[in-house]
Amino acid sequence: MPEVLVAGAGPVGLTLAIALARGGIHVRVVDKRAAPGRLPKMERCNARTMENFRRFGLADAIRAAGLDGDVPMDVFICLQDLTGRPLVHHEYPSVNRLKAAYRAVRDGSCPAEPSQVISQYTLEPLLRAAADALPCARVDFGHELTAFAQDEHGVTATITRADGTAESVRAAYLVGCDGAGSTVRRGLGVALRGESRLEMRQALFASDELYARIPAGRGRHYHFADRLSSYLVVQDDTRRFSLHATGLAETEMPALFERRVGFPIAYRTEYLGTWRQRLMVADRYRDRRVLLAGDAVHLMIPAGGLGMNTGHADAVDLAWKLTGTLRGWAGPGLLDAYEAERRPVGIRNVGASRRATLGRVAWRSLWCPQITEPGAEGEAARAALAERADREQRLSNDLLGIELGYRYLDSPIIAHDDGPAPDPDGFAYEPTTAPGARLPHVWLDDGGAVQDMLGAEYTMLRVGAGGDFSALAKAFARLGAPFRCCDVPSADAAAVYGHPFVLLRPDLHVAWRGSAPPSDMDGLAALVTGWKEG
């Protein structure tokens, strides 16, 4: 019998399964699809997601499967097609260039890992293989969760196989990672609220020759200044291209692709479909023993690339809380804090996606038929659009603060203080150890990342100072919670962290910080493990 049943084997559900199974929790994932999907959907694991995958031991495999590390990630805004001089060209370094640049940064302002372009159809099989390699995880495609009921002690679910037969599965907890149309969310009667915007056509094309021949330059996104809001996304193998546009029928997308390329190429069409831009958040993330994560509770427009990455962070947060609850060391407040922490981040990230989307709308609103014409009027139209796009398009790509800077501001399991802290909603990242924040990255004296020395326990970092935390260790031990002290062998840590003592949770978010050991060590241990109200 699984301890946790997960509905949905997309990147979020598989991340949750891996995180749980690595901690010894027996987890079963079911998905009604016969196999992992073949649509791009998400295209990028952001820096925070890659830091987590580094901790899972998967970062190198993901990079090997994704976009080549020497390919630049530039963004272009083109007038009509790929042949002319771009109106706007934003340069973004390749992964390998970013890695080299990050090595020289010592102030905590850069992550341990750059982002990685990888299409969902590439990432899902890789994560499935990682889950299958863990003895505590089981992943079943062709198995649909069709009904469930919960009681005081667990959840009983009906799983219907592809051949129509059904089985009853009992688990302590059920997690719905089953997407926008979530069966689990609907079964709970939880509503998604927000706004719907444009209906978009999507097409996936394959061409072995296009990428090497693009006259505008090599990059990952090509937007076009047209009335169709069209843009072309280079997929991770640089042989597939996802085209999005509005105002056309699906069958018109191949012809649009040919026009936007602007020169003859050999290609094939692999998919034609429709999706709608939505900015929505669920009313609740939990109902007793049933929880929700990923697109089941928040829907974002791809501008900013926050959708899957926010769901990934949901899974990482939920995994350690479920582990503590199932292993008996967590108080009831720990799992209660899942919604208190993650729903505000969902609302925040939907807001960031809206801001990025409105940035695109702002420059696209300057399109006019004269923009392609020669002469003064055309020149003025092109210049006006380019000037605004140069500023507004950056909101979709320069958002490291949204990716790294989120904090659990009202969490009941964090010892908040009144110290200065940067704006948690800022698009630029400022490192901070304010309680609730992600621990800023520093390089260790041996060249490793600080995250490399941290495990799945609560950790008291001692940064250039001694301190007796034996009483705190005993307090955690009485609760049965994992804990250790750790000195940080880094010449940069003291300046970056600003406090000699920093208590981390298993997810590497700051639970407490101080200039001296805490006066009430029993109370602190009880607070951060969910046994005491903050």
pLDDT at 91: 97
Supply the range of the domain harboring residue 462. Answer: 407-528
Flag whether 307 is in a domain.
yes
Q: Are residues 319 and 412 in the same domain?
A: no
| Residue 285, both tokens | 């993330």
Q: Are residues 423 and 327 in the same domain?
A: no
Q: Are residues 292 and 421 in the same domain?
A: no
Average pLDDT over the chain, rounded to whole?
96
Output the domain CATH number for residue 297.
Answer: 3.50.50.60
Q: Are residues 311 and 422 in the same domain?
A: no
Is residue 534's pLDDT more than 70? no
Flag whether 98 is in a domain.
no
Q: How far apart are CA 119 and CA 113, in angstroms?
A: 18
Flag whether 238 is in a domain.
no
Flag whether 424 is in a domain.
yes
| Residue 146, both tokens | 């069709």
pLDDT at 354: 95
Closest to 276 measured CA to CA, from 198, 159, 360, 193: 198
Helix (H, G, I), strand (E, B) or coil at 489: coil
| Residue 291, both tokens | 């929880």
Q: Are residues 22 and 130 in the same domain?
A: yes
Flag whether 440 is in a domain.
yes
Read off the pLDDT of each residue in 8-31 and give the average, rounded to a whole number: 98
User: How many structural domains does the chain have?
Assistant: 2
Q: pTM of the full predicted structure?
A: 0.97
Flag whether 489 is in a domain.
yes
Q: Are residues 318 and 438 in the same domain?
A: no
Flag whether 275 is in a domain.
no
40 pLDDT band, cuts 50/70/90, is: confident
CA distances from 348 to 141, 190, 430, 517 (A): 33, 20, 17, 33
Flag whether 380 is in a domain.
no
Output the domain CATH number for residue 430.
Answer: 3.40.30.120
Read off the pLDDT of each residue in 18-41 and give the average, rounded to a whole number: 93
Q: Are residues 23 and 144 in the same domain?
A: yes
Q: Are residues 333 and 464 in the same domain?
A: no
| Residue 352, both tokens | 């960031």
pLDDT in tens, 334-383: 999 999 999 999 999 999 999 999 999 999 999 999 999 999 999 999 99
pLDDT in tens, 497-524: 999 999 999 999 999 999 999 999 999 9
Q: Are residues 15 and 156 in the same domain?
A: yes
Read off the pLDDT of each residue in 305-326 and give the average, rounded to a whole number: 97
